[in-house]
Structure 1
Amino acid sequence: MKKDRNSGAHSTKNDAEPAKKGARIKTVIDITRGGKGFLLDPTGDAVVYRESLGGALSGDVVEALVTMRGKVKVGRVLKIVERKTSSFVGEIVRTPQGMMLRPDDGRVYFDFKITGSSGAPEGHKAVLEVVDWNTPTPEGNIKSIIGRAGEHETEIRAIILSKGFDGDFPADVLKEAGELYKDAWNEEEIKTRRDFRDTLTFTIDPDTAKDFDDAISYKALEDGSIEVGIHIADVTHFVRPGTSLDREAYKRATSVYMVDRTVPMLPPQLSEDLCSLKPDVDRLAFSAVFTVKNNQVKERWFGRTIIRSQKRFTYDDADVSLKDATAPLHSEINVLWKFAETLKRERREKGAIMFGSEEIKPVLDESGKVTGFKKTLYTESHQLIEELMLLANREVATFVSEKLGKKNRVFVYRIHDVPNAEKLDELAVFLRAIGHQLTLNKKGAVGQDINKLLKEIEGEPEERLIKTATIRSMAKAVYTTKNIGHYGLAFENYAHFTSPIRRYPDTMVHRTLATILSGNKVTDDPEEQERRAIHASEREVAAAEAERTSVKMKQVEYFANFIGAERDGVVSGVTEWGIYVSDNETSADGMVRLTSLTDDTYEFDKKKYAAVGARTKRMIRLGDPVRFIVERADLDNRTLDFKLVQPENTVRSAKDKS
């Protein structure tokens, strides 16, 4: 059972000395797991301490009073204007005050009293709907019981539901999806499309994939050039505006890739069958076709097609075909790889940042138990597909911008702003503290300089740490109708066109492109398009949180079997209260409390990003390789506690690091 929450859910008491002057603002509040709030303000966020939250929860719209306390902006919530949600997922617990729901989200700092459900099963996870916020303890009714707390299926479903997703589809959506089989397409429809069924076409996807969004066609032309087709599932042929299918797809906005399952944006009849570009069956596609000579694009064509994939490659299969002359499509894939290498080199030369995308994920058995961890390598086949998808996305966005004008407000772009100068300065200071350099100019960092840094740290113990810190210094890519380009990719125009089975913005892009190609005027409401883009960005964040939480849950479950074991890791964070260590095998983070270091008294040195021994001056610094003991795995809070092994033998003195 989880620890009891602090009382005072709706206290508006403020122990701070009242300020003579203050400003009232209306904004969204963000709350951390530690119970501290931040009022989001373009001029600089204001901190809100626990006693001044006034019952507000993360994401709520609040009215607050902001004052200056020295150089710090401090806020106090006066009124909650709008609740972000009234639905919460948590565990049913028995307390002296009665049956309560204890939320799984650590940012919710109070429990909810369960009303009208005297038989609510203690120790089970449930979904609660708040019916009264204006009581000392907010009250709600149980909407549904998820299952017994601690069981794999229960915990995964709880994570999914807590982020606003659902593993099940409404009956009307499933009914519509099933009816699409009756007349998926006919001969008249085929006549309106460019026919690629006799052109060599194949897919390259993960070995567990079922939703094949994209396929590649290859054709050698008489003049020595090649025709490269990037064929994308024609989701909008099936999912029409105004239908239950479209409303549900918009609501979800994205598929969610949990540690053990996919929660699809579209029902399986579409995501795994009618829309999926499976081998040896005819499928409808929306295509971007390029004529390429000497690895340069000479012509482009966009339009609706019908295709038939002849081969389904996994990434591993495609890597074998690249290297083995006897493997299927060896020569064709090699020609495409040379083209992809050219595209990648051109992006790098223009300042695109090359992070790569290697991941470490848990491997589960049928019961959901972790059997090990697998590292997904960023191989040539991954890069080949990435470059072709980037090409299609860029060229579609460029084509639409040419037709509608770059300042149009009806097309949904994928934009990435330039990094915040202050965050880049902090990154540069951090890098210097651990022995690396990042050159900054008046405009910040140049992509080539970041790439140089990333190249230098390849294979080093601190590689993952530096990549993570660099990514966090970047702005977040979002969907919007206001095109400012994509900094990370070094593209002037960019949109998401290539994954409409799993991303709703791609369906919006398909619809706009289809309207333009048909010669009709785009009549979408700009405000509605922007609202939908914002919604998609928000759901993307929620999906990423759900995915990370499911991985973290499995990491903690895994470590519960290794209490007392010694392991190797890298220092991934240093704070006033402890050192965070990332395990090498699993990439799981655990905390080493400074008080657990017994060879000396360690204090946090913010400038050096290190914990420094007061007597010995020994330093434990970000990026240091360390050996540690697994001390505790907290399954309820999904946290890990580690203890360093003989710190005097695993870290160096401050003099050694100068």
Structure 2
Amino acid sequence: MKRKKERQGNRPLSADELLRFMAEEERPLLWREILRRLGLAREEGIGLRRLLRQLTEEGKLVRIRGNRYGLPTKMNLVVGKLRCHPDGFAFVIPEKEGEDHIFISPRKLGGALHGDRVVARVESMRRKGKEGRVIRVLERSFKKVVGRFARGKHYAYLVPEDERILQEIFIPEGETKRAKAGQIVVAEIVRYPEATERPEGRITHILGYPDDPEIEPQIIIHKYDLPHRFSSAALAQARTLPSIPSPEQYHDRVDLRQIPTFTIDGEKARDFDDAVAIEEDEKGERLLYVSISDVSHYVEEGSPLDQEAFFRGTSVYFPDRAIPMFPPELSNELGCLQPGVDRLTLTVEMRFDEEGEPKGVRFYPSVIRSAKRLTYTAVRKALVDGDEATQRELRPLMPSLEAMARLAEALRARRLARGALDFDLPEPEVILNLQGEAEDVVRAERNLAHQIIEEFMIAANEAVARFLEEAGIPSIYRIHEPPSEESMKEFRRFLSCLGYRMRKTETPSPKGLQKVLEAVRGKKEEKVVNKLLLRSMKWAKYAAENIGHFGLASQAYTHFTSPIRRYPDLMVHRLVKRVLSKRGGRLSPEELAQKADHLSNRERVAMEAEREILDRYRVRLMKDRIREVYDGVISGVTAFGFFVELDDIYVEGLVPMTSLHDDYYRYDEKRYVLIGERTGKTFRIGDPVRVRVERVDVERRRIDFGLITG
């Protein structure tokens, strides 16, 4: 028997201590064995049980038969997320970065569903990788399922709208809410699947029939469980907010109301949370004011509004609506920097020389009065198009706009010189008619006005991150890790197929990738290379530890400029104020890390919901365009066909391999190309083609094209 482990003092056993102890053990242990070997008193057993339960739920320990505990890595077990495929198989994506995915056959899912956090046992190694089985579900990914209601001869069931949920949901009689066959409904899971039993649910909402244009936003809201109704406590607090700030609140604030300040946003924007102003001196130095709505003045930490905002994490934007982080009394009124009214703000005042080099920065609470609400289109007309009517309308602000354009150009040049990546990928914009149906999907414009605001917000965010880092207090950062070696190897191979070379280095640098983007600029493959490089990048996220931002080539970055629609910005505002006022009280790095993880997850959910709603509108648009002909570019090549992105409409569809009748085609995986065995004809990424819309499956969100010429 091993001798008892010695611990310092009588403090409770920590998770790290227990994990280190378990790593030294040669076999899985019972609870009483752990208690005895650690030299714990009997009364400490309750705390040990609680810690074992916590680490088991987190997947850091695994409980096996006989109630023994061990480390997953010592038992050939892997903890990860299950990713199911519509064809029935699945993969476990390990939480530990760098580990290979584990293939799970349909018979070995063990009642787990798509997205579940699971423990899997690796059972074999095949040529294509590891294979295994799910032995335990640690955490279910969803409690509700959206789908089509259907009736069998003696029972009712729900066909999940998400094809990756592989089992139908049985609905007992009395739990159907009188839904009719074919309607889209929401079901709450009351019993999850076992090895031999289907999942069971009860209908909670009837959303309507599939042809209703209003159905798409409702599906997304329920599918992603987006909180779209505010709590009564949050609404009650919002109603107590004043419509305008009182002059008593201006004390200890810098008065910027005499400086020409304005907002620049999109035509449809309603929540204006950033305003800008600029002054130039005779030396050519510029003083830039970035004033951000002081939401933290009205939303006290821990209040109902604060709790609601943290739970949501971010606002979510659909083509026809927004799901805001705050009620309209704050997001569209008191916290909105509307023109002609006084608003409380937090200002970053930055001084730059002619080349855009920073010469000084100040932070302070302020009060502003926006002179005008400008749009990106109006600024473009005035500065780029030279539209005389717009210039006359904006005459008092033209000197400021021209100075801002010069400064933004200098800031952008400095940012690119240090290696920041500038992806030229326009965002899709859905044009809706009065009935809420998609009329068109176009590439959203990105002009000089967008660049002005983008550069100023980046400069402000970097200045705030440096300020908090220098203050030495725990903070929350926006980080972006370098891409993995495997993704860069794949991207390098793809580039070589297009005739480009990329230096092989141990650690990729932003400058090296920037050279690739410059090399393809203006070429037919530019868009595809931009898209594939972006896919090769890791997701940016929030963290308590600053490791820099790879894509921006920035040593310190955070989010500060949008506290109406992003909760991390609200947190950063509070931290800045705490430093400025020299007040005590701070969150621990552990608390910040937990909040950062939650907010990164909420952002990811919002992004996936926004992406899916766009895909749905694209498919609905194309279902009325069967047999229409379009020009496009091959955007991806696979073993089952190739994808084409259309020139005139921002839509992508598949030309299936089975529709190519002029030859037998084989897929060359190493060269990303389809090759005709008889003719030698090839289809590769970037090739122009002409296609016809052949089939649109709204339910599966799939668009099939037929090749006309290419």
Is TM more than 0.5 here? yes
- Counterparts of 1:575 and 1:34 in 2: how far apart (Å)? 17
Amino acid corresponding to residue 300 of structure 1 in structure 2: V
TM-aligned CA deviation for residue 22 of structure 1 = 6.8
Aligned-residue RMSD, C-alpha: 2.0
- Counterparts of 1:198 and 1:34 in 2: how far apart (Å)? 65
Shift in alpha-carbon separation, 1:593–1:356, aligned structure 2, 3 A: closer
Name whichever of 371-380 and 618-627 sits farther off.
371-380
- Counterparts of 1:454 and 1:56 in 2: how far apart (Å)? 42
User: What is the 5 A alignment of 1:185-200?
Assistant: 185-200=245-260
User: What is the 5 A alignment of 1:463-612?
Assistant: 463-612=526-675
Please state if 1:50 is matched with 2:106: yes
Q: Secondary structure at the match of 2:623?
A: helix
Q: Secondary structure at the match of 2:261?
A: strand
- Counterparts of 2:674 and 2:280 in 1: how far apart (Å)? 61
Please state if 1:314 is matched with 2:372: no
Q: Secondary structure at the match of 2:147?
A: strand
Please state if 1:141 is matched with 2:141: no
Match of residue 61 from structure 1: 117
Match of residue 217 from structure 1: 277
Among candidates 143, 155, 164, match of residue 98 of structure 1 = 155
TM-aligned CA deviation for residue 205 of structure 1 = 0.5
- Counterparts of 1:150 and 1:51 in 2: how far apart (Å)? 36
Residues 543 and 593 in structure 2, CA contact (< 8 A), matched pair in contact too = yes
Amino acid corresponding to residue 175 of structure 2 in structure 1: S
Match of residue 306 from structure 2: 246
Relative CO higher for 1 or 2, CA cutoff 8 Å, sep ≥ 6?
Answer: 1
Please state if 1:205 is matched with 2:265: yes
Please state if 1:276 is matched with 2:336: yes
Residues 590 and 641 in structure 1, CA contact (< 8 A), matched pair in contact too = yes
Q: Secondary structure at the match of 1:475?
A: coil
TM-aligned CA deviation for residue 31 of structure 1 = 3.0
User: What is the 5 A alignment of 1:596-635?
Assistant: 596-635=659-698
- Counterparts of 1:461 and 1:164 in 2: how far apart (Å)? 40
Please state if 1:39 is matched with 2:93: yes
Shift in alpha-carbon separation, 1:147–1:176, aligned structure 2, 3 A: farther
Residues 173 and 248 in structure 1, CA contact (< 8 A), matched pair in contact too = yes
Residues 91 and 101 in structure 2, CA contact (< 8 A), matched pair in contact too = no
Name whichever of 286-295 and 511-520 sits farther off.
286-295
Match of residue 133 from structure 2: 76
Match of residue 27 from structure 2: none
Match of residue 385 from structure 1: 453
- Larger-gyration structure (1/2): 2
Match of residue 27 from structure 1: 80
TM-aligned CA deviation for residue 469 of structure 1 = 0.2
TM-aligned CA deviation for residue 221 of structure 1 = 4.6
Residues 425 and 530 in structure 2, CA contact (< 8 A), matched pair in contact too = no
Residues 555 and 586 in structure 1, CA contact (< 8 A), matched pair in contact too = no
Q: Give the TM-score normalised by structure 1.
A: 0.90
- Counterparts of 1:156 and 1:69 in 2: how far apart (Å)? 43
Q: Secondary structure at the match of 2:644?
A: strand
Q: Secondary structure at the match of 2:310?
A: helix
Match of residue 175 from structure 2: 117
TM-aligned CA deviation for residue 223 of structure 1 = 6.3
Q: Secondary structure at the match of 2:374?
A: strand
Q: Unaligned regions of 5+ residues in structure 1, if any? A: 1-20, 651-658
Q: Give the TM-score normalised by structure 2.
A: 0.84
Amino acid corresponding to residue 124 of structure 1 in structure 2: Q
Among candidates 403, 407, 427, match of residue 359 of structure 1 = 427
Q: Secondary structure at the match of 1:426?
A: helix
Match of residue 369 from structure 1: 437
1:105-129 Cα deviation digits (max 9, x unpaired): 2221112122332423332222221
Among candidates 286, 293, 304, match of residue 226 of structure 1 = 286
TM-aligned CA deviation for residue 330 of structure 1 = 2.2
Report how many aligned residue pairs link the two structures.
621
Please state if 1:641 is matched with 2:704: yes
Please state if 1:129 is matched with 2:185: no
Name whichever of 559-568 and 451-460 sits farther off.
451-460
- Counterparts of 2:242 and 2:105 in 1: how far apart (Å)? 56
TM-aligned CA deviation for residue 416 of structure 1 = 0.5
1:384-428 Cα deviation digits (max 9, x unpaired): 110000000001000000011xxx6x3110001111122111111
Q: Secondary structure at the match of 1:561?
A: coil
TM-aligned CA deviation for residue 499 of structure 1 = 0.8
Between the aligned residues of both structures, percent identity stands at 36
TM-aligned CA deviation for residue 222 of structure 1 = 6.8
Please state if 1:159 is matched with 2:220: yes
Match of residue 476 from structure 2: 412
TM-aligned CA deviation for residue 38 of structure 1 = 2.3
Q: Unaligned regions of 5+ residues in structure 2, if any? A: 1-73
TM-aligned CA deviation for residue 34 of structure 1 = 4.7
TM-aligned CA deviation for residue 599 of structure 1 = 0.4
Amino acid corresponding to residue 105 of structure 1 in structure 2: D
Name whichever of 230-239 and 90-99 sits farther off.
90-99
Q: Secondary structure at the match of 2:214?
A: helix
Q: Secondary structure at the match of 1:645?
A: strand
